[in-house]
Amino acid sequence: MKKALALAAVPLFALLIASCADVDTPAPAPITEITPTTLDLTLLGRFAGGGVGAAEIPAFNAASKRAFVVNGAQGTVDVLDLSNPAAPTRVGTINVAILGAGVNSVAVANGLVALAVEAPVRTDPGRIALYRASDLTLLGSAQVGALPDMLTFTPDGRTVLVANEGEPNAAYTIDPEGSVSIVDVTNPVVPVVRTADFRAFNGQEAALRTRGIRIFGPNATAAQDFEPEYITVAPDGRTAYVSLQENNAIAVVDIANARVTDVLPLGYKNHALAGNGFDASDRDNAINIRNWPVFGMYQPDAIASYSVGGTTYIVTANEGDARDYTGFAEESRVSGLTLDPSVFTTAVCGGDCKANDRLGRLTVTRTLGNGANGYTQLYAFGGRSFSIFTAAGALVYDSGEELERRTVGLPNVNFNAGHENNTQDDRSDNKGPEPEGLAIARFGNKTFAFIGLERVGGVMVYDITNPAAPVYTTYLNTRSGTTGDLGPEGLVVVPASQSPNGQPLLIVGNEISGTTAIFQINLR
């Protein structure tokens, strides 16, 4: 809702990434013949995978009319027949026990199913596995970096890029380097792996922090501290952009040379500015969306891109994420910090800033903003919004406080409820509705963003055809109190040309309920 002036004056950048999973072709969804005035969503079908974690990241193969859904509870992939999308059925399972501990992500292109497989010891190198979509035959696998997560194909389908997060162990005594594996799958039986790492940035940590890039793990080099989360590939297939969520930054990768060429800071959102308010407390017994003297770290999870008039724009779901380990935990409630009394006055908070019904309950990082007399600035996790940037990193649009305002007064769920309860305000103190999943689709000459709200649930849809002035379109939440679809994680759009029923579909993996929801996108 707010433009660039609604953000702190710091360098900003965000980038390209397709949704959490690809449809059968890695290229953007083909344009349909229909240019809708608007659209809405209808729940067609639902598959219950078996409880918490049983549905996370979906992908779709048009030739077999199958969805491939990461079942985190089992460490497998459920294969769902969507010939009738109103009645999805499980027709197979991909078990990766011979390769590793479990699957973290899936992508599909040109009849290949690519899986990111975590090692039994998560700080050890993982693997990429390649299966034939039609009969689930394992074709080949190869070693990649530690904790491989999101993966995506290049536009020609010949290369898979894998984000190796390299998270530390619980004690923070082992901290693997983050990296991006660039895998040639021209011959899927013998995939060839090259690695783009961050070692060239070791020794530059102070300069990177000065630029606004978070490097803060105990005794970590830049290469250890950077944790790749999501990847997108530019349309020409030459450059990849990689989100470093905890670092609030973006890496730029030269694919041909398997080299990280730059790391760019995302900057901070100023919640003190008009239109950037949020509800900061789970103990104020009210819906209280207002401005606060707080900055938000965007820290997007899913990101996506689209083109208008030959110019690329990037859409980000600003979830937020913290490091919370036995050996190092950055989170603190504001009430647990010493605040500089000259900054955090009763005037700016409408009372004691550390009171539970003010900022006291808000979860922030301890790693930023501390001064000689206490904290002079507070930094919360995530932006509680979605944003649109140019490919050069200039902010074009941010939804400000609108996602929270749109979820007020829902008939089936309370405001800022958690994904495991229906308690009003439960998540107001920590990331609010928590936008996480994201997919975009073009119908005729219009482009729409589908944004999954992890905590309160549901999918928010905006017409983003004009990147400077997105228009709210619809919101469907298919939870009912503590039942239904809870915790949307991954989203993928199936264009009408690839859909089993000839209509565009939206597939959503809901992590907490373990359900895969199939929606029809009704163009009107």
Reported as a single tens digit per residue, the pLDDT across 167-219 is 999 999 999 999 999 999 999 999 999 999 999 999 999 999 999 999 999 99
User: What's at 412, amino acid-wise?
Assistant: N
Q: What is the 3-state secondary structure (H, E, C) of 137-178?
A: CEEEEEEEEECEEEEEECCCCCEEEEEECCCCCCCCCCCCCC
Taking residues 489-505, what's their average pLDDT?
97
- Regarding predicted confidence, which is higher, 308 or 471? 471
**Listed residue (18, 16, 33) closest to 311, CA to CA:** 16
4-321+382-523 fold: Methylamine Dehydrogenase; Chain H (2.130.10)
Range with the lowest mean pLDDT among 2-11, 16-25, 147-156, 431-440? Answer: 2-11
Return all residues near 485 (Cβ < 8 A) that are at least 6 apart.
Answer: 46, 457, 478, 479, 508, 510, 513, 515, 517
Alpha-carbon gap, residue 217 to 168, rounded angstroms: 9
Residue 22 pLDDT: 45
User: Would you give the DSSP letter of residue 302?
Assistant: S
Show me where the domains of the chain are located.
4-321+382-523
Chain Cα centroid distance, residue 206: 28
- Residue pair 172/326 in contact (Cβ under 8 Å)? The answer is yes
Range with the lowest mean pLDDT among 28-42, 228-242, 368-382, 457-471? Answer: 28-42
- Regarding predicted confidence, which is higher, 10 or 92? 92
Which tokens sit at 494? 């199936």
CA angle centred on 246, ends 221 and 472, rounded to 5°: 155
Taking residues 420-448, what's their average pLDDT?
96
- Kindly report the average pLDDT of the chain as a whole number: 92
**Listed residue (432, 422, 423, 398) closest to 486, CA to CA:** 422
Q: What is the 3-state secondary structure (H, E, C) of 402-435?
A: HHHHHCCCCCCCCCCCCCCCCCCCCCCCCCCCCE
- Regarding predicted confidence, which is higher, 2 or 474? 474
Residue 32 pLDDT: 47
Residue 474 scores a pLDDT above 90: yes
Q: Mark 461-470 as b/e (b = at least 16 C-beta within 10 Å).
A: bbbbbebeeb
Encode pLDDT of 219-264 as tens digits: 999 999 999 998 888 777 888 888 899 999 888 999 999 999 999 8
Q: How many CA atoms lie within 13 A of 155 on its CB side?
A: 12
